[in-house]
Amino acid sequence: MRNIFRNKIYGNRIHITYASRTDKGVHAIGQTVTINVKDINVDEVNTELPEDIAIWAYCKAPKYFDARRCTIYRHYKYIVFKRDLDLEKMKNASKDLLGIHNFKRFCYKIKGPVIRRIYYIKIDKIENGYLTLEFIGSKFARGLIRNLVDLLTRIGSGEIKNLNSVWEYSGPLCMAPPENLYLIDAYYPLKYMISDSGVEKVIKAIHMINEGESDERKILRKHMLKDFWKIMSDLRELSLKLHSTLH
């Protein structure tokens, strides 16, 4: 996307920051990008972007704002397409991950400490006996969520057992597939404008059906669409509150 903005839209003299540098294959419905331009015509930009990329909300950022460093929290969801997992075992194990910890052992090829704070983990059953795992944290590191999903699902299946705490586990991990993970939101207390053309493009992209698409992919799209409507509603409400506070 960086090259699209630079080469096709604004040229090379722009600086871009991202709220989250997600793993290859991971989706995002609420990624935040900053671009140092004086003005932007969102409708025109959306026509230049690929069909699966859209600007659906925008605002003028404060001076020195950086999408990555100024994020208050990031919210991810992973859909596990496995059945017969012990939900209570997974929930109990996830409690050990809350708070501030060094998550280095659960990350991918990182040498130094990985000190992160996870505020919230929610695990729910959905249709067909599948599960959703939601993570909210200040920030995450490469492979962290996908490795935590692998750990928790293996605990739920009984493959990993007899742990008093997840921190006792020192065995190998296999990162869960990236395609089932998506960034829901990166939160900032900013007043946004909603782009109708961008919203329409997002909905169209989520609804795109590939030939021979599996039922699992349809479930993934269904939850992405549901979460998109939720964060868009929350964004409108936040913007109205900020507007009334400032005036």
Is the pTM for the entire model greater than 0.85?
yes
What domains lie within the chain, and their CATH numbers? 2-69+189-246 (no CATH), 73-179 (3.30.70.660)
23 is catalytic: yes
Tens of pLDDT along 104-119? 999 988 888 999 999 9
pLDDT at 94: 98
Amino acid type, 207: H
- Average pLDDT of the chain is 88
For the chain, list residues with pLDDT below 50.
none
Q: Which of 23, 39, 66, 96 is catalytic?
A: 23
Task: Burial-class residue 240 by CB neighbours within 10 Å (0-12, 13-18, 19+).
Answer: exposed
Task: Burial-class residue 39 by CB neighbours within 10 Å (0-12, 13-18, 19+).
Answer: exposed
Q: Which residues contact 60 (CB under 8 A, 6 or more apart)?
A: none
